Amino acid sequence: MELDIREKIKEEIARQKEMIAKSAANMSRVPDHLKAYQEKAFELMQKELRALEDLAERSNI
């Protein structure tokens, strides 16, 4: 069971890293009137990724 949780956390970290990379690449195509919202969403995704990475580190994953 613990192994399943570790694998799920690893998979989620990989998924979020990929999503952040795609979002960063698309940021230049976001219209100016939506850029502030997109930047905030990007910051939230990065914060969530850091939290997952911290959890993984504390759990020795």
Which helix (H) or strand (E) is 1 found in, with range? Answer: none
The pLDDT assigned to 12 comes to 95
Our measurement of the distance from residue 43's CA atom to the centroid of its chain's CA atoms, rounded to an integer in Å, reads 9
The pLDDT assigned to 61 comes to 62
Q: Using one digit for the tens of pLDDT, what is the confidence trace for 2-59?
A: 778 889 999 999 999 999 999 999 999 999 999 999 999 999 999 999 999 998 888 8
| Residue of 35, 14, 16, 17 whose CA lies nearest to 26 | 35
The pLDDT assigned to 49 comes to 97
Which helix (H) or strand (E) is 14 found in, with range? Answer: helix 2-26
Where exactly are the structural domains of the chain? 2-58
Q: CA geometry: angle at 9 spanning 13 and 20, to 5°?
A: 15
Tally Cβ neighbours within 10 Å of residue 31: 7
